[in-house]
Amino acid sequence: MNTVDGTDHTGTPHPTGGLVLRPGDAGYEDELAGFQTGFTQRPAVIFAAASAEDVVAAVRYAAAEGLPVGVQATGHGLPGDAEGGVLITTRRMDGVRVDAEARTVRVQAGVRWGQVVAAAEPYGLAPLNGSAPGVGAVSYTLSGGLGILAREFGYAADHVRALDVVTADGRLRQVTPASDPDLYWALLGGGHNFGVVTELEIDLVPVARLYGGSLSFDAAEVDPAAVLRAYERWTRTVPSTLTSSFAAVPYPDIPAVPPRLRGRYVVSVRVAHTGAEGERLVAPLREAGPVLADSLREMPYAESHTIHSDPDFPHTYYGDSAVLRELDVEAVAGLLALTGPEAPTMCVVQINHLGGALAEAAPNSVPYREGRFLVRLLTMADRATARAGLDPAFALLAPWTIGRALNFAFGAGDRTDGLYGPGTRTRLAGLKSRYDPANLFRRNYNVADADGS
């Protein structure tokens, strides 16, 4: 392992504080490791950044050498295209600073949502985090950020006050809607395609408790399509203070799965509600059939991760999504038939109810705010096997599909079609040519390609 001591063995200058690793160095493989184990890269150089200055050094080195740059915090998503290039890891940049009076928090590039929830809780405040506490806060937000309170407060990207970002010219800038509205717009939705964000200042919301949890049904006793129909009808009646999703999971019969779920095909509705009428609002869902498990309850916000209980161990997965203008229940019932227990590979289906504050305009590039539902498919398979199973399922939804969600293109970001609408993509491409004309920052999607090919 090479400690940064002013120069590396090629003579390229670096600041002190971080680590520079190359293939064969002790620690190189460990630094590459992340939550996603199915897709790996072999960068020529890893900059294990401990500060914004280390990120500046990495970007300047990459620019001087003509190498692409990728960024990895927790490794839940894939880093940018760093194969043979420069990978910047940010896990050591884990500072969190809450300003309770202003209801804001500053988070560094390697911070995970669980840290932010814990830091905000003593003040009766909460961030607009997602369902898994181990996800990196910065990359989640730059790709939009569809959280557990999304219908009430909108996307996490809608609540960013300022970003510290290292751009392709090697400058560390503070970007706000007033200082640089174009770059601010591009970063929040276009993400690391425009630079490496080293810190965010984001709003916190005054939420200390909520009503939430999951209502689950065994598909052996209740038709999944019947639960889906009940769910779709129910979403037409709920207020924007209630955010929910439908899920269908064929649990394997293995010891890692809780005994009551082992070997079962389970459909669930997950709920998060900040009002006082949670039990009354969910009552119609209980009429769908015999309940297998019910975790709905009043809870402190710090326990909100239990609503979804996402896996917290590294594993292989591939996934994609479709933003829908309407939820055609019969088409989705067909999708459930394709992805259920008889599918060749295990597939998890999740359907998020959109609308509410998510439909409101904001000065960022997060697309498809008119969407009413988001369908997400996730499978534990390699890319080729996964696509063979998922493509026919998504084809059923094509008549109602308006696009895809970048936050949920797990390994599918190499497909650029549908990540942005034509107008948004054209504007992003123009800003890409202005801020990164050499295409230094290469996410697995590339907004420099304005025609979507």
> Half-sphere exposure of 3 toward its Cβ, with a 13 Å CA cutoff?
3
H/E stretch holding 198 reads strand 196-203
Model confidence over 35-48: pLDDT tens digits? 776 677 889 999 99
pLDDT at 254: 83
pLDDT at 142: 96
* Winning range, highest mean pLDDT, from 80-89, 152-161, 317-326: 152-161
With CA atoms as reference, report the closest residue to 132 among 317, 343, 341, 361. 317
**Residue 2: is its pLDDT beyond 50?**
no
With pLDDT > 90 as the criterion, what percentage of the chain qualifies? 73
Model confidence over 298-334: pLDDT tens digits? 999 999 999 998 777 666 778 899 999 999 999 999 9
Q: Is 441 helix (H, G, I), strand (E, B) or coil?
A: strand
With CA atoms as reference, report the closest residue to 436 among 49, 188, 174, 68. 68
Average pLDDT over residues 369-388: 90
Q: What is the mean pLDDT of the chain?
A: 89
As a whole number of Å, the end-to-end CA separation of the chain is: 40
User: Lowest-confidence range among 36-45, 90-99, 176-185, 344-353?
Assistant: 36-45
Model confidence over 127-150: pLDDT tens digits? 999 998 889 999 999 999 999 999
Q: Which residue has the tokens 């001591």?
A: 5
pLDDT at 220: 94
Average pLDDT over residues 338-367: 95
Contact 67, 28 (CB under 8 A): no
pLDDT at 78: 63
pLDDT at 17: 63
Burial class (CB in 10 A: 0-12, 13-18, 19+), 62: buried
Q: Which residue has the higher pLDDT, 343 or 314?
A: 343
User: Lowest-confidence range among 21-35, 185-199, 222-236?
Assistant: 21-35
pLDDT bin (cut points 50, 70, 90) of residue 364 is very high
Burial class (CB in 10 A: 0-12, 13-18, 19+), 360: exposed
**Residue 7: is its pLDDT beyond 60?**
no
pLDDT at 445: 44
pLDDT at 449: 41
Model confidence over 246-275: pLDDT tens digits? 999 998 888 878 888 888 999 999 999 999
pLDDT at 117: 98
Q: Which residue has the higher pLDDT, 370 or 32?
A: 370
**Residue 74: is its pLDDT beyond 50?**
yes
pLDDT bin (cut points 50, 70, 90) of residue 165 is very high
Average pLDDT over residues 409-418: 73
pLDDT at 448: 42
pLDDT at 444: 43
DSSP codes joined into one string, 379-408: ESS-HHHHHHHHHHHHHHHGGGEEE--GGG
Using H for helix, E for strand and C for coil, what is the string for 298-350? EEEHHHHHHHCCCCCCCECCEEEEEEECCCCHHHHHHHHHHHCCCCCCCEEEE
pLDDT at 450: 35
With pLDDT > 70 as the criterion, what percentage of the chain qualifies? 90
Looking only at the bridges linking them, the beta strands covering 209-218 and 196-203 are unpaired
pLDDT at 40: 75
